[in-house]
Structure 1
Amino acid sequence: MSDRNPIRLIKKYPNRRLYDTQTSTHVTLSDIRRLVVEEESFQVVDAKTGEDLTRSILLQIIQEAESDGEPIFSSDMLKGIIRFYGPFQGMLGSYLENSIKAVADIQAQTGQQSSQAWSDFMSGQVPMMQKVMGQYVEQSKQLYLNTQNLFGMFPGFPGAAGQADKDKKDDDKT
C-alpha cells in the first residue's frame, strides 16, 4: 500500500459492473482480489448512491474463493459462525480478526519467503499446527463454558436458567 496514493475508488454500477476510477477501466472480482493481496487501499461504492459496498464485494470474493478448490470454511464452521451472530458477535469477530493477524505476523516474522517456500513449510507444519489449534480451540471452549457457568450463577441473567437446567441434566447422566 502506497502512502502517496489516495484510496483507490471503485464504482459499482446498476449493471453490476465495477469501474476503477484510477485506471479508468472496468475491473472484475479477481482484479479486486489482487488489490487485497497486494495490500492496495481501495473502497467500492455504489455509483448512484455513494453507499460503501466494500464489505459486500469482499464477501463476494470470499464466496467465490470458497467455491473454487478446497474451501477454508466447513459447513460446521459456517453454522458455528452463524450461531455467534447476536450477543457474542463482537467477541467472535475480534477473535477471528486477531487470529488472522497472528498468522500474518508469524508469516511476516519468517521473512519475505516465496509463496512456494511458505506453502512447503506450512504443509510440513500442518499436523503440529492442527494439534496446537485443537488445543487452543479446546481452551477457548472451556473459557467460554466457564464464562457461561459464571453468568449462570446470577438469577435473571438471560440463559442462566437454561444453562443451569443443562448442567443438571449433564450431572444426572453421570
Structure 2
Amino acid sequence: MKLIFLAITLITCFAYSNNMQVDECNVFFKEIGVRDFELGSDYQIILNSKLNFEKKHLTNGNKFLIFQEEKNILNKKRIIVYELTFRADKLIGYTFKIRIENDKKGLDYFVKVLEKLKMYNQNGFIKGDNYAFMETNEYCKKFFRFCELDFNNYIFGGVNYNVM
C-alpha cells in the first residue's frame, strides 16, 4: 500500500513539476494582436482547429505547422506568419514574424508595438529600450526582437521549450 501511495505521489509531483516548467515558458503577445499558443498542446487538436495551415512537414522527428493570417496591429493591417514545432505530438515552441517597413517608419512602428507590449507587463523578459529581448533558463528560450531577414524588416518573437 505504501508503495502505491509513493508511486502516485511521485507521478503527481512529476506532472506538477512539468506543468510548472511549461508555465514558466509561457509568453503573452495577444495584446499586440499575435496569437498565444499553450505549450504542451496536442498536435492533432491544433491540426484540426480552424487554422489554415499552408505547410506541414517532418524534420528530425519534429513536426512543423506553418500558417499566416492578416491582423490589424496598431491600426495597420499586417500579415503574421506562424511556425509551430511539435515533438512527440506536443507543442514545444512557436515563432511569429510580422513584416514591417524597411525604413525609419518600420523602426518607429516596432517601438510603438514594444510600448504597447510593455504596457501590459506580462512578459518579464522585455525590459528597457532595446531592439532585442531574450530570456533563457534550463527549460526554455523566450524572445522578441526587431530583425532583418532577406533584406526586409520584421518583428520576430516566440518561445522554445527544451524539456519535452
Instruction: Tell me which interval the TM-score lies in, with the shorter structure as reference length.
Output: under 0.3
Richer in strand (by share): 2
TM-score (normalised: structure 2): 0.25
- Relative contact order higher in (CA < 8 Å, ≥ 6 apart): 2
TM-score (normalised: structure 1): 0.24
